[in-house]
Chain A
Amino acid sequence: EPEVTQTPSHQVTQMGQEVILRCVPISNHLYFYWYRQILGQKVEFLVSFYNNEISEKSEIFDDQFSVERPDGSNFTLKIRSTKLEDSAMYFCASSRGGPDEQFFGPGTRLTVL
């Protein structure tokens, strides 16, 4: 069964450093998403991406964040200058169509020291 993959599974970084989280969505999916979950809190939407552009973003997704689909398979989330409060599990998801089921990857746990 096709699945969303994410690398790395755990990233530790120093405050102020840039990090890039990588995702490979399911191959025939057209919509891509990033969510985050701070430990003990709810899953929060960050951004959706369709047709090579951002289609929707939340208030969390400020100028420190960017997304890119650099080639036909990868989808990345970049955090330019990490803060302590960016520590969270970051989930990538993809769907075939907008309202269709979103399939989540296993997540990248980001720890900012």
Chain B
Amino acid sequence: RKEVEQDPGPFNVPEGATVAFNCTYSNSASQSFFWYRQDCRKEPKLLMSVYSSGNEDGRFTAQLNRASQYISLLIRDSKLSDSATYLCVVTQAGTALIFGKGTTLSVSS
């Protein structure tokens, strides 16, 4: 069973669209949750941490449901520059980041 599962996409949306990504994780002892962004052939960069209470950063909203072991990311008013792969990431007992395979988003004009 994969530790972190994501729909690989690709999600192809027009500019201005709202798009949602989902992620599930298998280990109920997972402690910290993040969304990272990875552009093609580049390093992952932290987009936002995810908290149980939900959190928002501009056009981005992240939610965590510990009971369902489910994490989501909502992007409103998509921009061309949002085109990237979005990585769902968790930690367990230590500091190691455990990555999902990522969901690819392509925003077109």
Contact = CB atoms under 8 A, between A and B. Distances in A.
A101 B21 CA distance: 22
Size bin of chain A's contact surface:
20 to 34
Interface string A19-54: 000000000000101010000011111001000000
A55 B32 CA distance: 18
B42 A106 contact: yes
Contact of A95 (B41, B87, B95, B98): B95
Contacts of B41: 89
Interface residues of B, number: 20
A56 B94 contact: yes
Interface string A56-72: 10100000000000000
How would you classify the secondary structure of chain A's contact residues: helix, strand, loop or mixed?
Answer: strand
Interface in A92-113: 95, 98-99, 101-102, 104-107
Which A-B residue pairs are the 3 nearest by beta carbons? A104-B43, A45-B96, A43-B99
24 contacts: A33-B95, A42-B87, A42-B99, A42-B100, A42-B101, A42-B102, A43-B87, A43-B99, A44-B99, A45-B98, A48-B96, A55-B94, A56-B95, A58-B96, A91-B43, A95-B95, A99-B32, A99-B95, A101-B46, A101-B49, A102-B46, A102-B97, A106-B43, A107-B42
